[in-house]
Amino acid sequence: MYLAEKWWVCKIRPELIDEQDPIKRLDSYLLTELCLKPILGIENLRKDERIDFSGGIRGDQELERRCKEDCKVAFAMKAIVINDLFMVADSGEQMPPKSTWFEPKPRSGFVVRIFG
């Protein structure tokens, strides 16, 4: 978390992470449920004008720049690994909002997962 021109490490107590649920163990879900909703009152990540997103390729410097210009706090999260994406899809669920930013972007077309 970048706040007041300093980086802070936020750690989540292990008992708050549901390792059995492929969505409830994702950083984006935990940030939303433990911070954005209860502390900042941001209920809808897709519509709330108080929140914005920056692609990971821009780096932490972009988050720092945004906090100096027009934001108060920024959160950097580790990238989603493809196995997490597969686990969510296999469970029949959808990824949380704004958690599927992938870089580099694949070419337009279809992606097919082989089922065995």
Q: Please tell me the pTM assigned to this model.
A: 0.79
So where are the chain's domains?
2-90
What is the arrangement of strands in the sheet containing 6-7, beginning at the earlier edge strand? Answer: 6-7, 2-3, 73-74
What is the C-alpha to C-alpha distance for residues 102 and 30, in angstroms, rounded to an integer? 19
Beta carbons within 8 Å of 109's beta carbon, 6+ residues apart: none
- What six digits make up the tokens of 103? 């870089």
> pLDDT confidence of 111, banded at 50, 70, 90?
low
pLDDT digits (tens, 9 = 90+) for 10-42: 999 999 999 999 999 999 999 999 999 999 999
pLDDT digits (tens, 9 = 90+) for 53-105: 888 788 899 999 999 999 999 999 888 888 999 999 999 999 988 787 766 66
* pLDDT at residue 115 in the model: 74
How many alpha carbons lie under 13 Å from residue 12 in its C-beta half-sphere? 20
pLDDT digits (tens, 9 = 90+) for 65-74: 999 999 999 9
Q: Which SS3 state, helix, strand or coil, does residue 6 take?
A: strand
What is the C-alpha to C-alpha distance for residues 40 and 92, in angstroms, rounded to an integer? 30
* pLDDT at residue 60 in the model: 93
